[in-house]
Amino acid sequence: MEGNYYMIHDYLIFIGVFAIFFFLTVGIYLFSQNEGLKKRNSKLTETNKLIEQRLNEVQLEHIGTKLNPHLFKNILNSVQSHAYQTYMSLDKLANVLDYILYESNNKFVSPKEELTFALSLIEINKIKINPLFDFRIKSKIDKSDEIFEEKVFAPLISVDLIENAFKHTDFLAQDSFISIQLELGDRIFTMKVSNKASLKNVLEKEKSGFGSQSLDQRLKMIYNNYYQLTKSSKNGIFTAELVINLGEFYDKMRYS
């Protein structure tokens, strides 16, 4: 009787040890499988990010190839239409063409470079308007801002708003005007453009083609949640305002 008791006791111990060993083995196996899945999922996530990044780059390159020839055409038309002022505009034209040919191929430029380009482009466009036309430009740039010379600005972002203002303004109306404000301070860039346009031109502007679409696409792909673009039309006055938080975007670039 006592012998049977010890046999049963030893058997239960054996079963207990076996069970512990079995569950440990299964646990180790499942853990290793889980770690393997995590690694595979991590690799898939990295691959997806790379694919998404490349797609964005391809889209941006595609947009750039359409934008640059269009910009060249508008600039040359402006200079050609007022040949008597061409000599005075050659310096500005050289700056603009250099920027388009060389700097625009970079993924980012500094606010200093983009603002210099924008001011030169405005001067060239002014060639086609009457000297008495109500043209207002205000530039408030803090050159001591820490991002003023940092590579955080997507090149040619300012083109669309400037070009549209000159393209859609009713220059024959008595109360016609163009107003452009450029600001950089506290690591934030602001560009506000207003102009007087006929109802027809306002409707065409709201349905504008590639230029407006390309700006929206680029801003969304590059700056994501770090920008705000608002457009409004009231009493024949069209206003577009772009605000980019270059500081927060710069911080993200540095620490990502």
**CA-based max dimension of the chain:** 124
Question: What CATH number does residue 163 fall under?
Answer: 3.30.565.10
If DSSP codes are grouped into helix, strand and coil, which group holds residue 180? strand
Closest CA to 212 of 61, 79, 70, 56: 70
CA 78 – CA 166 distance, rounded (Å)? 10
- Residue 54 within any structural domain of the chain: yes
- Residue 236 within any structural domain of the chain: yes
- Residue 45 within any structural domain of the chain: yes
- Residue 126 within any structural domain of the chain: yes
- Residue 13 within any structural domain of the chain: no
Helix (H) or strand (E) holding 172: none
pLDDT tens-digit readout, 220-245:
999 999 999 999 988 888 999 999 99
CB atoms within 10 A of CB 252: 15
Residue with tokens 């076996």: 18
Domain tally for the chain?
Answer: 1
Closest CA to 112 of 3, 170, 189: 189
Query: Exposed, middle or buried: residue 208 (CB in 10 Å: 0-12, 13-18, 19+)?
Result: middle
- Rounded to an integer, the average pLDDT of 182-186 is 97
Closest CA to 216 of 149, 140, 142, 160: 160
- Rounded to an integer, the average pLDDT of 162-176 is 86
For residue 82, the number of C-alpha atoms closer than 13 Å in the C-beta half-sphere is 19
Q: Are strands 134-141 and 177-185 parallel, antiparallel or unpaired?
A: parallel
For residue 39, the number of C-alpha atoms closer than 13 Å in the C-beta half-sphere is 6
The rounded mean pLDDT for the chain is 75
Highest mean pLDDT among 60-64, 71-75, 79-83: 71-75
- Residue 24 within any structural domain of the chain: no
- Rounded to an integer, the average pLDDT of 119-137 is 85
- Residue 16 within any structural domain of the chain: no
pLDDT score of 83 more than 90? no
- Rounded to an integer, the average pLDDT of 27-48 is 59
- Residue-range definition of the domain harbouring residue 146: 31-255
- Residue 159 within any structural domain of the chain: yes
- Output 93 or 121, whichever has higher pLDDT: 121
pLDDT for residue 30: 57
- Rounded to an integer, the average pLDDT of 184-197 is 94
